[in-house]
Amino acid sequence: MPVKTKAGLALMVLAAGILGAWNGWIRTRSFVPVDAPVPFAAGQTITSDFKLNFDGLYLIEIEAQKTIPLDELHCLMGVEAEAQRCKSLPAVVAATWVISSEGQDIEHGSSVEHYSAPTQAQGVARAIGEFQGKAGKSYKLRVTFGAGAGALAPARPHLKVAVASIVRTDIQSAKMLVFSTAFICALFGAILLVVAYFAWRGRSAEADFGSGLQPLNSSQRE
């Protein structure tokens, strides 16, 4: 097999391997390790054990669906920028949280503090906490709700632990790099295979042309 053909096939296989490895890795990452319904009665606690397989900043957030008027939902979630719009609809999201690992508390906070922007969601999300997570470590989240969230019941609020938006941006950048590398490998592999094919066609044509030439006999020379 010609060297160009071997190199072209190797680059095509490499491109497929890069894409396969990336897709296999990304499918096994758990970007939302906790997703639990929010209790509607005040004083209730959610406890969730989870293990991470991705390093990065994680947000503890409340996410509600857009099943009630958006202005009303923003007020109830406490994410309305203009507070005067929510005089008759005070926020019902009030919670304290603790993250522990191996029996030791490592982070704690409450919904009154400001945190990074929530991840992109189909509904309305509010971050109530954040922590740096390490792949391979097990964690326990304990969230106690200090106010009743019955007004949010139609919006089906959930408590989530999810990677932050900045982490997702880094993942998208890595994805573009992986796909660009695979594309370049596949492109050069295809070029080498095309060059090898035309080189083979040229040699075949020369061989056919040479075999078609017959030496002149003595009568033809006269």
The three-state (H, E, C) secondary structure of the chain, written as one string: CCHHHHHHHHHHHHHHHHHHHHHHHHHCCCCCCEEEECCCCCCCEEEEEEECCCCEEEEEEEEECCCCCHHHHHHHHCCCCCHHHHCCCCCCCCEEEEEEECCEEEEEEECCCCCCCCCCCCCEEEEEEEEEECCCCEEEEEEEECCCCHHHHHHCCEEEEEECHHHHHHHHHHHHHHHHHHHHHHHHHHHHHHHHHHHHHHHHHHHHHHHHCCCCCHHHHC
pLDDT along the chain (222 residues), means of 10: 83 93 90 91 91 93 92 89 81 92 93 84 90 95 89 92 84 91 93 84 64 54 48
Which pLDDT does position 221 carry in this prediction?
47
